[in-house]
Structure 1
């Protein structure tokens, strides 16, 4: 079943098919640059998907030649006068850790209970890269152009990237990329651990991976994301205890029994999302 969903101004399109949401930034003529309407659409898309029935995986990509080239040039012009255009985005209040508009546009993907795969091609610069960092997995084209670009504009990464990037590539590499603001390609992103996988057609690869994940017990997938997001962010005793909580919920559950039955009967499992 295919379900199209809407977001403000159609800057982001969402199509859900068989539990996989295909989410695309939809401003190709402007390289999917971030303006207030795009910020609104990204946050709205993530919040809408949080309550989408039967959702199992999300694939996030950009229409046209780029993933997202970063802030719209009008934002930089406004900054010369001390204005911050992102603050004009109309968003509902949130009690989550990310409060600023740009932070919410990136972190809303980390907050989803299901895996999020970013498919990155073309330019992913500045804020565009930070949005990709909000995903659980990044499949990147070898010739993609990436950059922690903010210092080139006299700024710092402020869309959660300063906190997320060191966890992926190490503190020293994160500092080098940030201090230099240099552009690097997908091949280097793979070497330093920013790319989970390289593929010349990242969207197709991401959708294929999403279908593979969606074929597993959705309750187990969500539990696995919760556990892995704890790793390194809590003390070992708390993490080990949470493992036992999650496994206790799964053993003997209807979906776990179905996973075992399907294996023994050599057939596709029929899982419930309830």
Structure 2
């Protein structure tokens, strides 16, 4: 995709990696643009059934590259925050929120650090696996700013309000075990990338239309009222029942074989 993000698609899984290891994958303007382009490209991939997002080198993402970003734009961070270039999101928000908008599940593998913007990017995933040694932080107040890369919108469905406030106001670091306890991380893993790829293979072995339907339902559940969600459940189910992929899933289960789906 670029010198900032690499994408490899194999067996219906997109292995996406932040690729700026010399800077611990810190976010500079080129990284923002590369992540946005990657998300846009994945939205059109019918053959991709799951995405695994990770970082090359010593860390997932150290957050904003303050030296690279400072003074590049009128807002002082080199990104036009006022312009909504990506639907409801500006560019800074899209590199985190955009993973939620992908039709297929996204599994994030964390190691090293996931600080500030890095934690917000990770939070856009459906599932997050973290190495025990990972250090995380809502780091923005350390620099005198607030989290503004979709973290507030994403964390409200994951983490208790008082915990969010304490971690935001103090900007303190916390480890993977604490992150899992709060909901930032799904679970801790000694091999987050390996486990993420294994989980992706499991997901890719299920009816891709049902998986995408389930993601649409859970994306609605956070904000929609009960009536809307109940209607959405029914609509998704009626769209799946007796389709070739749904029948193939049943037959594969009964015959104890791998299913062969049409994307």
Q: Please point out which of 22, 37, 62 is paired with 1:29.
A: 22
Q: Take 1:47 and 1:80, find their aligned partners in 2: how far apart are those partners?
A: 24
Contact 2:248/2:260, CA 8 A, preserved across alignment = yes
CA drift of 1:213 comes to: 0.3
**Counterpart selection for 2:152 from 152, 159, 162:** 162
Give the whole-Å Cα distance in 2 for the aligned partners of 1:11 and 1:40: 9
Where does 1:9-158 land on structure 2 (aligned, <5 Å)?
10-75=3-68, 77-78=70-71, 83-87=76-80, 93-94=85-86, 96-98=87-89, 100-158=90-148
Partner Cα separation in structure 2 for residue 64 and residue 265 of structure 1: 43
Matched with 1:210 is 200
The Cα shift of 1:216 comes to 0.2
* Alpha-carbon spacing, 1:175–1:270, altered in 2? closer, same or farther (3 Å): same
TM-score normalised by length of structure 2: 0.95
> Partners of 2:74 and 2:241 in 1: how far apart?
59
Q: Helix, strand or coil: the match of 1:258?
A: helix
Paired residues for 1:196-207 under 5 Å: 196-207=186-197
C-alpha distance in 1 between matches for 2:151 and 2:103? 20
RMSD: 1.8
**How many residue pairs are counted as aligned between the two chains?**
262
CA distance in 2, matches of 1:251, 1:63: 41
Q: Report if the CA contact (8 A) 2:157-2:222 is conserved.
A: no
Instruction: Report the secondary structure of 1:87's partner residue.
Output: coil
Partner of 1:271: 261
Aligned to 2:165: 175
CA distances 1:97-137 after superposition (whole Å, capped 9, x unpaired): 11x22101111111100000110100100000000011111
The runs of 4+ residues in structure 1 deviating greater than 6 Å are none
- How far, CA to CA, are the matches of 1:163 and 1:50 in structure 2? 21
Conservation of the 8 A alpha-carbon contact between 2:128 and 2:185:
yes
> What residue in structure 2 maps to residue 3 of structure 1?
none
Kept in 2, the 8 Å contact 1:31–1:67? The answer is yes
